[in-house]
Amino acid sequence: MSDKKKRILLVEDHTILRAGLRALLSQEEDFEIVGEADNGRDAMHAVGSLLPHVVLMDISMPGISGIEAIRDIKRRYPETNILVLTIYKTDEYIHESLKAGASGYILKDASPDELRIAIRSVLSGKVYLSPDISSQVINGYLGTSGRATGLSSPWDTLTHREREVLKLVAESKNNKYIADYLCLSVKTVEKHRSNLMKKLDLHNASALTAYAIEKGLIATQG
C-alpha cells in the first residue's frame, strides 16, 4: 500500500507549522509523511534513512541552513526532490536555492491547493516557482540579468551565513541569541557583524535593520 504513496519529509523549525503541514498533506491519499526535522543537520540524516521522494525544506533554521542542507542532500541523494517552503521572496534566496539543487520554491502564504500542485509538480520532474515570483527572478537565474553585467553589489559579496546574521540583527536579537540559534560562538557572530558593517558600509544596528527591510529579509509592520 505505502509503495504507491509518495514519501514526504517535513523540514521546518516551527513546531506548529510542521503540525499544520502534516495535517494538511496527510489528507492526500497519495502522500505519506515519513518524518520531520527541525534543522538542516537532522534533515540530512533523515533523508539517508527515510529516502523520501520529496523534502519540504525551510531555508532559515538553527545550525546548518536549509540551503546548505539542500546542497548536501543533492550531492548524496541526487534523485531526491526538494521543494523550498519559505517566507523569503528575494532574488538572492531563490537563486541560491535553485543553484543548490532545489526543484521548486513556494512561499509560506501560498494556498493549500498551490502547495499540493507544487509538490506534484516536482514529483513529475518539473521546476515549480510560486506565481508571486517575478519573471525578473527567473531571468536572473538564467543569467540574463544581474551577474551578466559583471558588476557585484555589496549584497552579492555577503555569504549566506552573513545574511542569516543580518536578518537576526534586524530582528533585534543580541549576539548571544544569534550564537545559540546558529550554533556559533559569540566571537564568530561578532566577526560576522563586523564583516557586514564593513562590506555594506553601515555602522549601526539601525542601518543594518533598514537595509534588511529593503532586501526583504524581514517584514515591516502593517
Q: Is the pLDDT of residue 45 over 60?
A: yes
Q: What is the CATH number of domain 155-214?
A: 1.10.10.10
CA distance 108 to 87: 5
Q: Hey, what's the cell of 116?
A: 499540493
State pLDDT tens for residues 203-212. Answer: 777 778 878 8
Question: Per-domain residue ranges for the chain?
Answer: 2-141, 155-214
Q: Is the pLDDT of residue 143 over 80?
A: no
Quick one: pLDDT at residue 115?
95
Q: Hey, what's the cell of 167?
A: 536578518
Query: For the residues 117-136, what does the mean pLDDT come to?
Result: 81
Whole-number average pLDDT of the chain? 84
Considering only the top CATH level, what class is 2-141?
alpha beta
Beta strand pairing call for 128-129 and 104-107: parallel
State pLDDT tens for residues 80-117. Answer: 999 999 988 877 788 788 888 898 899 998 899 999 99
Same fold, 2-141 and 155-214: no
Query: For the residues 37-48, what does the mean pLDDT come to?
Result: 93
> Which pLDDT band holds residue 148 (cuts at 50, 70, 90)?
very low
CA distance 36 to 55: 10
